[in-house]
A and B are shown apart, each in its own frame.
Chain A
Amino acid sequence: MGCLLAIITAAMVLLWAGRAPADVLKVGLLADFTGAFATWGPQFQMGVEAYQALHGKTVKGPDDKPHEIQFIYRDTASQGPDKARQLAQELVLRDHVKFLCGLDLSPHAMALADISKEAKVPVVIMNAATSSITRMSPYFVRVSQTVPQDVAPLGPWAVAHGINRVYTIVSDYAPGYDAEAYLTKTFKAAGGTIVGSGRTPQQETNFSAYMERVLEANPDALYMFQPAGSPSVAFVRAYVERGLKAAGIKLLGGGETQELFLPNFTDDIIGTVTSFHYTETNTRPANLELRQQVKKMSGDRAVPDIATLAAWDGTRLIEDAVAALGADADGLKYIDFMKGKKFDSPRGPVEIDPVERDIIQNVYIRQVEKGNGTLVNIDIDEVKMVKDPWKVDNPPKSN
């Protein structure tokens, strides 16, 4: 009996200690801060801190009560979905977070579907780009992108610009398959021909044999989808070294040429055309604001990437939702508030799809150029308000 009493007391003390003071609203951000995917965490954090530094940590609720939005960062340590689930549980049960966010890799986001439904906690996904994710829980909202969304506009653009024969080489994992499928589909639909395709191991850095095959096929352009980092750097190196560039084969891609990664390449990457939802050099006021704040916080060489961008927009959505509904609204109420929301993101105008809770945004066709001695992406075309094509192809089943 005494033992039971002690446990109850201890539990109550713990619960009480864990409860936030009334004016602090906690948001849990899950991301990899260490391990193989360690670049994501700090970039998310930079986006959150940049937004809060400029737009304030404290928002006034509908009843004029101030709420401080406090982010708690948890490191999924590149250890996969189980770790993400465990940390999310702790954040919900012990820290009583009102929102979860972050989530660099798709499996991490998928692992949170059940928790979000049981605990009725909205999850603002800031990367995890597998199309189907937002269908897995009504508490999911995505502010990043999907792979088909970024890739699909490139096919018609290529055909319209005299590229009729394309060879695709993608990395051998799910996003690579999505990219291959959607480029092939849209390119063929526009009248182009795929003359060959290859899949390379995820961490490949020796591309010589693949490039030989491309040379033999002699296409107008080579499309790549490679993970940022060593594989994409090695890919571009092999493309130049093997004489593909000299042979006039154009290089097409996506996220490989983010400004954050461009210093890793040599000038050989100049001329590469990519389709992507964020061009860092755009001069919209929100982007200038973000860039300036990032440099102020992390030094002149710091650049926002898609993680920083999505964290900035995600923080904004959360703060706006709390400002509109206060700190104690039901999880689905917050989600309803976010649905259909339109705002000016640093990337350009965006809208949260009122049905799918996924982002609708412009996709930009950019070319790598050298400006002021550094490599940058310059917009050469844009496709307005692209909805995730996978969702268009796979309409939700009506129950």
Chain B
Amino acid sequence: MLSFGLTVLLDGISYGMILYLISVGLTVTMGLMRVVNLAHGAFAMIGGYVAGFLTQRGCNFYLAALGAAAAAAAIGAATERTIYRPLYRKGELAQVLLTVGFVFVATGAVSEVFGAFPYPVVFPAYLTRPIDIGFREYPAYRLFLIASGAVIALLLWLILDNSLFGARLRAAVDNPRMARAVGINVSLLFTATFVVGCGLAGLGGALGSGILSLEPAYALKYVVLFLVVVIVGGEGSFEGSFVAAMALGVIDTLGKYFVAEAAPYLLYTAAFALLLWRPKGLVPPRSLT
């Protein structure tokens, strides 16, 4: 029983880590910069395809994952300057329309270049096998997800809460006019943050492709999950995204195990219940409280 509980917990946490890795970038764009970025899944997808392309040609998996992050970040930078910037002051409808359009373009482009079939990222052999963790054999890949998610969560927390960059970013989000007045280059700061968010999505897309499989429909199929994580966590709250991703990952896994028939709805029911309980999210950002 204990062993079973631990297994489900590990399954839930590893799934949650993937949701977190990808959603954390959306926390930046949607939570901090207030852009309803439905195209976030497209950046994760682009990252995943880049990693797939590289690893299928014999490139080292970890280098390919970095390449994925870099490519998603580069495309993020280009689109921020050209597509997103004019949107910052527009209403949400304009943002939704344009970013959904971007999703369609990305889906079409990926399908044209890589085909409509699923596109595999080649993981190192030791990640595709179960390993002995004392009480049972457990997939190494899932442990790897938990470890990488934890490292990134820690890094982000250190940067945002304890660095000058983090302090400036929080200031710029809370009161952009005041931040400008004290000499912070808000525009550059937003671009940098957006680019980092896209890079994280790309990284998450590559690392998580063992669970969220790559295919042209990826960008549209999973964006709902990412949105749920950000909203349930509390818009703009990194701690919130983390807690929400873990909670939803565990709830989803438990649901599939015990009430498989209800599994497709359970995640959304849980999100609904959590939001009824805490409308501002599980851990609302300090500026909102």
Contacts and interface: CB of A to CB of B under 8 A. Distances in A.
Interface of A: 36, 38-39, 172, 198-201, 203, 205-206, 208-210, 212-213, 229-230, 233-234, 237, 240-243, 246, 261, 264, 266, 268
Nearest to B216: A38
A205 B212 contact: yes
Interface stretch (B82-90, B159-167, B174-182, B259-267): B259-267
A203 B221 contact: yes
How many chain B residues sit at the interface, stated as a range, is: 20 to 34
Contacts of B118: 229-230, 233, 264
B117 A261 contact: yes
Contacts of A240: 128-129
Contacts of B120: 233, 264, 266
27 contacts: A38-B116, A39-B116, A201-B263, A205-B211, A205-B213, A206-B252, A206-B253, A208-B11, A208-B253, A209-B11, A209-B253, A209-B256, A210-B256, A212-B4, A213-B257, A229-B117, A229-B215, A230-B213, A233-B118, A234-B213, A237-B128, A241-B128, A241-B139, A241-B141, A261-B117, A264-B117, A264-B120
A203 B241 CA distance: 24
A233 B257 contact: no
A209 B213 contact: no
Interface in B120-138: 120, 128-130, 137
- With most chain A CB atoms within 10 A of its CB, the pick from B130, B215, B253, B256 is B256
Contacts of A233: 118, 120, 213
Interface string B232-258: 000000000000000000001110110
A218 B252 CA distance: 24
A198 B260 contact: yes
Interface string B184-222: 000000000000000000000000001111110100010
B227 to A, nearest CB: 17
Interface of B: 4, 7-8, 11, 15, 111, 116-118, 120, 128-130, 137, 139, 141-142, 210-215, 217, 221, 252-254, 256-257, 260-261, 263-264
A230 B211 CA distance: 10
B130 A200 contact: no
A234 B211 contact: yes
A310 to B, nearest CB: 19
Contacts of A212: 4, 7-8, 11, 257
Given A172-B264, A208-B253, A237-B210, A36 B15 contact: no
Given A39-B116, A172-B264, 11 more contacts: A36-B217, A199-B260, A206-B211, A208-B15, A208-B253, A209-B257, A229-B215, A230-B118, A230-B213, A230-B215, A243-B137
